[in-house]
Structures are given as structure tokens and as C-alpha cells.
Amino acid sequence: MQALSLYSLVSKAARSVAAISLATAIAVSASVDAFAQGRVSVVRDAEIEALVRDYARPIFKAAGLRPGVSIILVNDRSFNAFVAGQRMFINTGALLQAETPNEIIGVIAHEAGHIAGGHQERLREQLARAQTMAIVAGLLGAGAIVAGAATKSGELAQAGGGIAMGGGEMARRGLLGYQRTEETTADRSAITYLAATGQSAKGMLTTFERFQSALSLSGARVDPYQISHPTPRDRISNLEQLAKNSPYYDRKDPPALQLRHDMMRAKIAVFTEGQGAVSRLFRKEPTGLAAQYGNAMATYLYGNARAALPKIDALLKQQPKNPYFHELRGDALMKTNQPAKAAESYARAVQLDQVKSGVLPISYGQALLAIGTPDSLKKAVTQIRTGLDRDRENATGYRYLAQAYGQLGDIAEAELATAEGHYYSGAYRDAKIFAARAQQKFKRGTPGWIRAQDIINSRQGTKKK
Ligand SMILES: [Zn+2]
């Protein structure tokens, strides 16, 4: 399953902080472990990525920013969100804490205000060039520094510094910390974008108010976003006044969007907070579609995948064209060793997915790989390549691609795919080793040979650190 599977960070830098093993294909328990052990990892999920992109798109348009931003979901309970280049990083914790789409949209609007205002341009350029995984590793370093500062442990703070490219710089700049004037500018811009898109600024206010009350509690966990976005009382009151001036202040999110938001929260709760999280989350609405979805996912994850199937079919009766219900059905069928049926469900998910996520064809390819006939292996290569064309940095996809080629006996392509997987996980040394092996088997000048050469020549990972 690709939904919420994890990429552990396999770069050498990250390894020095925590013993990190390669993510397994089904990383459910790993995700719980990752939380327990404070590891940072990236979550890949077609449904959540599509929703957050829907939140961002109109705001970015109003801000005059380029569309086509990719969404990176960082598996972390704390509240954080920021944009680097064409990528938006957002913690799963922020999505889970936000009760309405509007609360997240407000944060996105505020972030868009920082970008449009040209705040921290130099740092942003650096982040835009860095590999996704290097930034996430940098966040881990920066997070460790915050923890170090909070506990006054200099040693811990040092351990976190310079852990990955950009990490030290981010730390020096106080975790993307903004100046007070920049905060005011971003608030004002955000209000403009929200008004232009007919949305309320109430959610943004709710989020910042929540931070303010959290900050006043001594000893409380400090979210990274609080550190980078100070919320003095006068800022909140100014924001409140501006928000209330808008004709859209009392406008609510459309019910269909709120439902997608609730289903997303159900998914994050099940995968990151465990089995009981869904009933806690939907105490007020225990029979709604989001609660049913959460219940089906919890049964699949913590109970019995076979017992989840009728629950998923009940969901599909209500929304037959929801690609993520078909995806979940595929996941459950994979877990019950029915790859041929799973492939059918994933194929339907791919077909119904309007936004063409790279994640879904890779899951489809994984099921075809599990069928294991020469014909299905060839189809697996096609599907996984489709996924990777849409989603170049999907390290898990390269792992399955390598397996498919390996089973087909194409060792050169298998080694090249392995090299790519290492490359996009930030393990540059291993990437170069496999690229060199692959290159020996390719004919000089062929596309595979050239791509292997690119990886060998890449300057990534050549810095001493
Ligand atoms: Zn800010």
C-alpha cells in the first residue's frame, strides 16, 4: 500500500541522529514507531495531497504565485507549515488539529503572503534547490535545536545542527523565523487573498489564537510554527479587526469540502494516533461518512482486513466514484493476499482520479508486481513509470520498479531504478554505487546509460558533512 507508507530518511546525516532502517512496504506500525521515536518522515497519500492542493490553488492564484505546487506531508504531530520553492511542507499534526478547511487555508494564505512579500528570499532559494528529503532532514535538525533550546541542553542543540544541507542555515535563521514587520505584512496579504477568494479569515485567527494560548502555558510543547510566527497580543487584535471587516467573516466552508476535510482527519487520526482516535474525533457525529471511513480504515489497519471489505463496500455504495475508497479496497485486498482483485480496485482508483496523482499508479503497479506473471510484470513497469513521471521524487516507486525489472531479468534497469530510489531518499553515495553498476550493463549513450552518468556526476552529497 502506498497510502501513508513512509520513506525513512536514509541519508548518512539522518542515520547519525537515529537508527533508521529502510521503510517497509507496509509501514503502518513503522509510522507509530516513527512517532514514538521522534523520527521525521514523509507521508505519501493521494487523497490528502489532492485536498491540500485544492486548498492552496485559489489562494496562490490570488497571490499571483505560480500554480502547480507540490505538497509534502511531514509525519509530525506538531503544527507546522511552510513553502519552499514549488513545494509546500505541511505537518500531518497541523491538518489533524485544524477543525475546518478554513483554518488550514488561513495558514496557507499567510504563508503565501510571506512568499509574495519576498520574505527570506535567499533562504527560500536555497530550499528550492535542495532535495525534498534534505529539507525534511533539515527540519529534523531544526526541531532538535528547538528541543535543545527549550530544555537548555546545549548538547542536544549541537547534535541537531548541520544535520543535513540547509539544516544549519534554517537553524541560524531561527527556524524560518520572521520579523515582526514581515508578520504584519503577511497577515494583511492573507486577508486580501481570502477576501479575493470569498473566504473568511476566521480560521487564520483561530489558529494564531490557539498558538497564543498555548504559548502562555509554561512547559507546553512548542510547535515549530509558533517559533517562526510570534503571536504578540497586539498582532492578534489587529488581525481580529481586519478579519471582522471582511464581508465573508461568517462564511462557512462548503459542506462537501468540510466532508473531505473530515475524511482526511479520520485518515490521519487512524494512521498516526491509533485505533481509538476515530471515535474520539467523531464523538459528536459517530455515524457520519467520515466516521464510517475512519472505522473501515481502523478495521483494515488494526483489526482484520477481510472484515474491512464489507465496510469499504458500504462506503462505495455512498460514493461510488470516490477514488480513495477504491484505493482503500485495493489496500485491504492486498493485505488479504488477493493481488488480482486489488489490481482491479487500484485500476478503478487510477481511472477515477481527476488530479492524476503519482501515488495511485504506483499502488496499482505494486499489485501487478505481486501477481508476478511475465505479462503482469510488464504492466507493472508501465504503471509504476506512469506514477514516477507524475511524481519524480517517489522513492518507494523506484523500489517497486527495481523489483519488477529484477523479476523480468533486466538487471541494468533494476540497478538504475535502485540508484534513483537512493538518490531521491538523499542517500547519494549508495545512489552513485548503483548507478555505476547499472552503467556497466547499459550500452554507452543509451538513455539508461546517460541517466546513470547524471547520477554519478551529480554534485549532491559530495560536500563534506
Ligand atoms: Zn508568518
Q: Each residue of 165-194: pLDDT tens digit?
A: 344 444 434 445 677 788 888 899 999 999
Question: Rounded CA gap, 427 and 447, in Å?
Answer: 22
Residue 200's SS3 state is coil
Question: Rounded CA gap, 196 and 64, in Å?
Answer: 12
Q: How far is the CA of 186 from the centre of ligand 1 (A)?
A: 6
The pLDDT of residue 369: 98
Instruction: Judge whether 171 and 144 are in contact, CB under 8 Å.
Output: no
**76-131: per-residue pLDDT in tens?**
888 888 777 777 888 898 999 999 999 999 999 998 898 888 876 666 676 666 66
Q: How far is the CA of 109 from the centre of ligand 1 (A)?
A: 10
Residue 225's SS3 state is helix
Q: How far is the CA of 13 from the centre of ligand 1 (A)?
A: 29
- Is it the case that residue 28 has pLDDT exceeding 70? no
Q: How far is the CA of 157 from the centre of ligand 1 (A)?
A: 24
**What cell was used for 65?**
504565485
**231-280: per-residue pLDDT in tens?**
677 888 888 999 999 999 999 999 999 999 999 999 999 998 888 888 89
The pLDDT of residue 218: 44
Q: How far is the CA of 118 from the centre of ligand 1 (A)?
A: 12
Query: Virtual CA dihedral for 264, 269, 270, 271, nearest 10 degrees?
Result: 90
What average pLDDT score do residues 333-341 get? 97
- 453 alpha-carbon distance from chain centroid: 30
Inter-helix orientation angle 180-196/46-62, to 10°: 100
φ and ψ at residue 91, rounded to 5 degrees: -75, 145
Q: How far is the CA of 225 from the centre of ligand 1 (A)?
A: 8
φ and ψ at residue 396, rounded to 5 degrees: -60, -40
Q: How far is the CA of 72 from the centre of ligand 1 (A)?
A: 19
C-alpha to C-alpha distances, 347 to 49, 64, 146, 356, 444, nearest whole angstrom: 19, 36, 44, 12, 37
Instruction: Judge whether 368 and 341 are in contact, CB under 8 Å.
Output: no
Query: How many residues are present in the chain?
Result: 465
What average pLDDT score do residues 195-209 get? 92
Helix, strand, coil shares, percent, the chain, to 5: 65, 5, 30
Instruction: Judge whether 60 and 66 are in contact, CB under 8 Å.
Output: yes
The C-alpha cell 477515477 sits at 352
What average pLDDT score do residues 8-16 get? 29
The pLDDT of residue 231: 66
Contacts of 239 (CB under 8 A, 6+ apart): 187, 191, 201, 204, 205, 208
For residue 192, give the nearest of 292, 294, 63 by alpha carbon. 63
Q: How far is the CA of 265 from the centre of ligand 1 (A)?
A: 24
**396-423: per-residue pLDDT in tens?**
899 999 999 999 999 999 999 999 999 9
Instruction: Judge whether 376 and 346 are in contact, CB under 8 Å.
Output: no
Provide the sign of the torsion angle of the four alpha carbons 244, 106, 250, 283, taken in this order.
Answer: negative
Inter-helix orientation angle 305-318/289-302, to 10°: 160
Q: How far is the CA of 310 from the centre of ligand 1 (A)?
A: 46
Q: How far is the CA of 104 from the centre of ligand 1 (A)?
A: 14
Look up residue 312 and give its amino acid. Answer: I
Q: How far is the CA of 117 from the centre of ligand 1 (A)?
A: 11
The string of DSSP letters for 428-445 reads HHHHHHHHHHHHHHSPTT
- Is it the case that residue 22 has pLDDT exceeding 50? no
pLDDT, greater one: 208 or 298: 298
- Strand ranges, E, within 403-463: none
For residue 116, give the nearest of 196, 202, 230 by alpha carbon. 196
φ and ψ at residue 108, rounded to 5 degrees: -60, -40
Percent of the chain, pLDDT > 90?
Answer: 53
The pLDDT of residue 235: 82
The pLDDT of residue 8: 32
Question: Rounded CA gap, 429 and 423, in Å?
Answer: 8
Inter-helix orientation angle 374-390/359-371, to 10°: 170
pLDDT, greater one: 350 or 133: 350
**Complete edge-to-edge strand list for the sheet that includes strand 5-7:** 5-7, 41-44, 70-75, 87-91, 81-84
Contacts of 424 (CB under 8 A, 6+ apart): 131, 132, 133, 392, 393, 394, 395, 398
Q: How far is the CA of 459 from the centre of ligand 1 (A)?
A: 33
- Is it the case that residue 212 has pLDDT exceeding 90? no
Q: How far is the CA of 65 from the centre of ligand 1 (A)?
A: 17
**433-455: per-residue pLDDT in tens?**
999 999 999 999 999 999 999 99
Residue 88's SS3 state is strand
